[in-house]
Every structure is written in C-alpha cells, then in structure tokens.
Amino acid sequence: MSQSTTNPLQQLGEAIRLKRQFKTMTLLDNSISIGVHQTTIGRLEQGYPAISIGILYQVLKILGSAENINKLAGDLHDSTAQRQWTIKTTT
C-alpha cells in the first residue's frame, strides 16, 4: 500500500499488520489473545475507522507497541495541562 494513496488509519493498519506478520502471528492468534473475532482485527488492519480505541490498545499491547499510545497520551496531557495553566495565570 502506497503512503501517498492511503489515509492515516490505513497506514496505521498496515503497520499493525506488518508488525503482526513479523511476529509470525495470524489474525486468529491475535484475535484470540484479546477476545475479539478475527474479522475485527482484519478491519483494524484495513484502517476501518469504527474499531474501538480499546481494541487498538490491546492489539498494540500484544504487539509490544502500547508504549507509543502511552507516550502520546502523556504528551497530550502535558500539552493540555500547560495550556490550562497558562490560561489560569493570564486571567
């Protein structure tokens, strides 16, 4: 899949698929590990936007990539806290 013709969710799904395959996990292995149907994992890997964030997190955790979401959440929290502090101190 070419990055120029895909959206960010498709790129994320492709990266998840490649990491799963690198770890020699099947869709079935991955789906059993988190308790969802393998179709759900397939949709995630295709970039389907209606997959829950919880499923995404569980898949990333199994693949050893959950720290990326933890870092993003921390960065977003730090940014929001900084913005709130700035608003409070300037009013």
Task: Specify the DSSP element, H or E, that contains 86.
Answer: helix 66-90
The domain segmentation of the chain, as residue ranges, is 3-65
Distance CA 65, CA 46 (A): 18
pLDDT given for residue 69 in this prediction: 77
What DSSP string describes 9-66? HHHHHHHHHHHHHHTT--HHHHHHHHTS-HHHHHHHHHT-TTS-HHHHHHHHHHTT-H
CB neighbours of residue 19 within 10 Å: 16
pTM score, two decimals? Answer: 0.72
pLDDT tens for the chain, 91 residues: list them. 444 556 999 999 999 999 999 999 999 999 999 999 999 999 999 999 999 999 999 999 999 988 877 787 777 777 766 665 555 555 5
Q: Please write the tens of the pLDDT for every residue from 41-53.
A: 999 999 999 999 9
CB 63 within 8 Å of CB 20: yes
CATH number of 3-65, picked from 3.40.50.1220, 1.10.260.40, 2.60.40.10, 3.40.50.620? 1.10.260.40
